[in-house]
């Protein structure tokens, strides 16, 4: 099959979170499976310098953007056989210090930036010489491309465009802009209605994808169910219930070439389920790196991620206040809300022998936290999939999670299945409930044989992309059947 993915970030070229990991891993796995795969993504600052083998293609980009015309270029890279990455080069939009924000505030021209990107993605879907059969869009930044392709289909008829698949990674981020920004689409006004992209007087980029994609996926089965409820539907639950027959939850996979305890280049001591001695050594290295007392007997907890309310930072801060008296240690890597950053730093100042925090994203430290910690804290208010808990499982770092979204789909509590237990779950969204989960972890830590069994269960769980890519191929076929291009014989 010929598949073109579009994403605002793709690892290893750009990354702020799990979206980049997911798209990069899915594309690589599809290409390894013999499919023709492309990825469209912006050419952000620093990519050209890190990947000097980029080549400019004779695929110029020039589109109306409201009353303006904006030009760009297409550059490409072929990292492995069967996979091409197409970079949308528009320096005024993408050559910036960060992908989406400046010091925690969205760029004021994000509508223009990602409308241009969506137009570029749709253009490439229609004009690449290998004629993609399926266009796989990711989140709000690419969702307008679904409407652009459907408009082309409306003009030229069935079979004139690829089938359209949209993956919702996080429904809470919808790309909402004032109604006037709809003019950037340069499309007829009859799409700006409650049945189209209008959302309570604003334009919703994500809604464009939900309405006009042929099929919709989310990144875990439970999240697919949750977003059709009023509680978790972010105002789009009614529309998602209408589209329920086209909605599928597919759990994200883990790239075990990148996340592998035996060959992880970021980690000093390799280890495996059969020999955990390297994990014990990595714990001591991690304590040393974060400036904490180096002591094997102290239980070490970790966290990696965006410092936002969604990620349960309030719960983490509250539970740590209660639990630090037990003598545990806590390390974290993350950035986000300036208030949460300051709160973390203040906690570290007050408990310098127990808490150490690195503000900012650091891939190497993230790997070392997964490898060196005993437990991984992930108390999200909601979590479409989550990858860090799956990384933790593979690295024998027992996750403590709330029963929501992909966290519930991936972690097995002793109450779920005593023989397969690999983590600790709690239900109530409160610091008290999280602290109770931490106390259970301390009890588990005091029973070495039981902890070893949890680690064995965790490290042998299979969340490889090979397991899930077949589900995406079924979805792609369904998208193609809804009006996509006919496959070559």
Would the pLDDT of 93 be above 50?
yes
Residue 291 CB neighbour total at 10 angstroms: 12
Q: What is the pLDDT of residues 207-251, one digit of tens each?
A: 999 999 999 999 999 999 999 999 999 999 999 999 999 999 999
Q: What is the DSSP letter of 184?
A: G
CATH topology of domain 2-253+466-481: Rossmann fold (3.40.50)
Alpha carbons within 13 A on the beta-carbon side of 329:
26
Q: What is the pLDDT of residues 145-154, one digit of tens each?
A: 999 999 999 9
Mean pLDDT of 133-160: 95
For residues 370 and 271, what is the distance between their CA atoms, to the nearest angstrom? 13
pTM over 0.85: yes
Task: Give the per-residue pLDDT at 487.
Answer: 58
Residue 280 in 3-state DSSP?
helix
Would the pLDDT of 74 be above 90?
yes
Q: State how far the alpha carbon of 358 is from the alpha carbons of 127, 229, 291, 305, in Å.
A: 45, 37, 11, 11
Q: What is the pLDDT of residues 25-48, one digit of tens each?
A: 999 999 999 999 999 999 999 999
Q: Which two tokens stand for residue 442?
A: 């301390």
Q: Decide: 66 and 77 in contact? Cβ < 8 Å.
A: no
Q: Decide: 140 and 209 in contact? Cβ < 8 Å.
A: yes
Band of the pLDDT at 415, cuts 50, 70, 90? very high
Band of the pLDDT at 486, cuts 50, 70, 90? low
Task: Give the per-residue pLDDT at 84.
Answer: 98
User: What angle in degrees, to the nearest 10, is found between the helix axes of 431-445 and 448-460?
Assistant: 110
Mean pLDDT of 150-159: 91
Task: Give the per-residue pLDDT at 489.
Answer: 38
Mean pLDDT of 303-326: 94
List beta partners, residue 69. Answer: 64
Strand-pair category, 398-402 with 424-426: parallel
List beta partners, residue 334. Answer: 305, 359
Would the pLDDT of 488 be above 60?
no
The CATH class given to the 277-463 domain equals: alpha beta
Would the pLDDT of 50 be above 50?
yes
Task: Give the per-residue pLDDT at 120.
Answer: 98
Q: What is the pLDDT of residues 282-312, one digit of tens each?
A: 999 999 999 999 999 999 999 999 899 999 9
Mean pLDDT of 436-459: 98
Q: What is the pLDDT of residues 259-279, one digit of tens each?
A: 999 999 999 999 999 999 999
Q: What is the helix (H) or strand (E) element at residue 151, kind and residue range?
A: helix 144-156
Percent share of the chain, pLDDT over 90: 93
Q: State the virtual CA torsion across 206, 473, 16, 109 in degrees, nearest 10.
A: -30
Which residues of the chain does CATH 3.40.50.2000 include? 2-253+466-481, 277-463
Quote the mean pLDDT of the chain: 96
Long-range contacts of 348-352 (CB under 8 A, 24+ apart): 351/324, 352/291
Q: Name residue, tokens 């005091």.
A: 446
């Amino acid at each position: 099959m010929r598949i073109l993915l579009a994403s605002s970030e793709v690892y290893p070229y750009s990354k702020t979170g799990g979206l980049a990991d997911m798209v990069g891993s899915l594309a690589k796995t599809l290409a390894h499976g013999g499919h023709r795969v492309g990825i469209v993504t912006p050419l952000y600052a620093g990519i050209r310098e890190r990947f000097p083998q980029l080549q400019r293609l004779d695929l110029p980009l020039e589109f109306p953007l409201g009353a303006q015309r904006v030009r760009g270029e297409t550059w490409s890279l072929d990292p492995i056989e069967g996979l091409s990455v197409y970079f949308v080069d528009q320096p005024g939009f993408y050559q910036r210090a960060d992908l989406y924000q400046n010091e925690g505030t969205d760029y004021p021209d994000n509508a223009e930036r990602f409308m241009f990107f969506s137009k570029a993605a749709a253009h490439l879907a229609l004009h690449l010489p290998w004629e993609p059969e399926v266009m796989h869009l990711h989140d709000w930044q690419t969702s307008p491309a679904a409407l652009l392709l459907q408009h082309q289909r409306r003009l030229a008829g069935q079979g004139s465009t690829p089938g359209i698949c949209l993956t919702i990674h996080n429904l809470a981020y919808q790309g909402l802009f004032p109604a006037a920004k709809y003019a950037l689409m340069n499309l007829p006004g009859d799409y700006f209605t409650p049945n189209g992209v209008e959302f309570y007087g604003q334009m919703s980029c994500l809604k464009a994808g939900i309405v006009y994609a042929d099929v919709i996926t989310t990144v875990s089965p439970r999240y697919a169910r949750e977003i059709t409820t009023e509680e978790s539907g972010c105002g789009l639950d009614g529309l998602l219930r209408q589209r329920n027959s086209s909605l599928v939850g597919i759990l994200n996979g883990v790239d075990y070439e990148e996340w592998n305890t035996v060959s992880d280049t970021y980690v000093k001591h390799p280890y495996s389920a059969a020999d955990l001695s390297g994990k014990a050594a990595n714990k001591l290295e991690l304590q040393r790196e974060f400036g904490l007392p180096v002591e094997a007997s102290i239980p070490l907890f970790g966290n990696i991620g965006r410092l936002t309310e969604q990620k349960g930072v309030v719960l983490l801060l509250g539970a740590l206040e209660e639990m630090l008296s037990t003598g545990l240690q806590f390390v974290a890597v993350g950035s986000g809300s300036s208030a949460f950053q300051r709160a973390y730093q203040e906690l570290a100042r007050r408990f310098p022998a127990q808490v150490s925090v690195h503000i900012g994203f650091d891939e190497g430290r993230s790997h070392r936290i997964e490898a060196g910690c005993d437990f991984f804290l992930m108390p999200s208010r909601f979590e479409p999939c989550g990858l860090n808990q799956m990384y933790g499982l593979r690295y024998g770092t027992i996750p403590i999670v709330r029963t929501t979204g992909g966290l519930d789909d991936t972690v097995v509590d002793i109450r779920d299945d005593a023989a397969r237990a690999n983590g600790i779950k709690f239900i109530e969204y409160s610091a008290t409930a999280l602290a109770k989960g931490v106390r259970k972890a301390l009890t588990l830590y005091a029973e070495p044989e039981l902890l070893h069994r949890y680690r064995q269960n965790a490290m042998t769980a299979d969340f490889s992309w090979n397991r899930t890519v077949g589900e995406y191929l079924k979805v792609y076929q369904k998208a193609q059947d809804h009006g996509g291009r006919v496959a070559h014989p």
